[in-house]
Amino acid sequence: MFDADKIQQDKNLYAIEALPLVTVYDDNLFVRNDYDVLSLGQRNYLIAFFQKLGFKQKTGRLLTDGERQLHLPRPNSNLAVSGFSEDFLQYDRVNFYCVTPTQFAEALFHFYSDSNEALPHLKALIENCPYNIEWLRDTSYRSEIEDATSETFVDLMAYQKQIVADKFKMKKTL
């Protein structure tokens, strides 16, 4: 099991105990019709961080410490298409996934059945790794999380705007 507290001590990373996911800060400027992929800077940051914890890169998309596997999922090459996988919700203590902040938020919406239950977790994510709220709302159209992303949209946009202004205004991308 990953120690989410240790991961969160790093100012650029975010994780919670409930999900087998790790995300990394990238930017605080978002475009609705953007690709949702880990940038080279994000990937390199994750690889360097986990190498310090004893992980070795086995392939371009896999790091392992002998007991656990850390996956860097293949990026989706289509615009406005979610990279969400049910694997992101399956906590088996062996497989962990490095995802974008937007993919992490999408997993939170899937994990928590009620948008009010997901909201504090989404706000905690925003406080560490802002995500593309508009993109997620748009791509969740006609999905099981459509209502939740729509219900929380105004609240999360206002919250993220304030957090970015207060905390991330001068922060540079990785």
DSSP letters, 41-102, are: HHHHHHHHHHHHTT-EEEETTEEE-SS-EEE-PPPP-STT-----GGGG---SSEEEEE-HH
Q: How confident is the model at residue 113 (pLDDT cuts 50, 70, 90)?
A: confident
pTM for the full predicted model: 0.94
Give the pLDDT of residue 77: 66
Give the pLDDT of residue 1: 56
Q: Which has more pLDDT, 85 or 5?
A: 85
**Cα separation, 148 vs 93, whole angstroms:** 28
Inform me whether the pLDDT recorded for 92 exceeds 60: yes
Tell me: the pLDDT tens digits for 11-70? 999 999 999 999 999 887 787 767 788 889 999 999 999 999 999 999 999 999 999 999
